[in-house]
Amino acid sequence: MSPLTIWHYLLIAVLILLLLIGFLVSLRTNSKFSVFTTISLTLMLIGFFTWRSINENVYIVEVSQLDQERFYQSEQIVLKGIVRNVGNYPVANVIATVKLINSHGGVGGKQSLFTQPSVFAQIYEGDNPNFKRQTVEKEELVADYLNPGKAKPFTIIMKYPSYFKHATFDVTAKAAY
């Protein structure tokens, strides 16, 4: 778990203050338990989404200097890059998500909307043994602890489907909290 920031402590203080106010308000009503339960559940919901929002906006990492290498004999692709903490707070774990997409070239090598395989087809063809997925995703832990402004190199090795004609890839990184 990443270290808590001043924003986390501020959220906890505000939620405790609102809970105390809700408790005092519920004491003045006839149905004390239901009012207190409603206020508590509402504050828990607000706290959950606010906590997630704080984590997404405080722990910021980015991927740079991506390089790929494909090994045809073992049908693998090796992706190398650097993950950097661009936020102001340390990040405990960084998870990279690699998404390989089998892109069918359109006119002039550009991708076309009409040549892309349908996601709708992937939903219903997943049980068919002859069906070949057109996207492959893999998540991997690439850094354990990153201080602000620091970077670490990473390497991800994943299987490359032999039926892919020309694959494009997208690598994104996020802080795990």
29-49 per-position pLDDT tens digit: 888 888 899 999 999 999 999
Give the span between the Cα atoms of 172 and 96, in whole angstroms.
Answer: 6
Q: In the structure, what pLDDT confidence band is assigned to residue 53 with cuts at 50, 70 and 90?
A: very high
> Which residues is 78 bridged to in the sheet?
69, 157
Residue percentage of the chain with pLDDT more than 70: 84
Q: Which pair of tokens denotes residue 16?
A: 């405790």
Using alpha carbons, select from 110, 90, 116, 132 the residue that is nearest to residue 3: 90
Domains in the chain: boundaries: 6-58, 61-176
Q: What is the pLDDT of residues 144-170, one digit of tens each?
A: 888 999 999 999 999 888 888 888 888
pLDDT band at 2 (very low <50, low <70, confident <90, very high): low
Tokens 């997404």 -> residue: 56
Max Cα–Cα distance, the chain, nearest Å = 75
Model pLDDT, residue 168: 84
Sign of CA pseudo-dihedral 133, 170, 155, 60: negative
Domain 61-176 = CATH 2.60.40: yes
Q: What is the mean pLDDT of residues 72-97?
A: 89
User: pTM for the complete prediction?
Assistant: 0.71
Instruction: Identify which of 133, 137, 149 has the alpha carbon closest to the alpha carbon of residue 60.
Output: 149
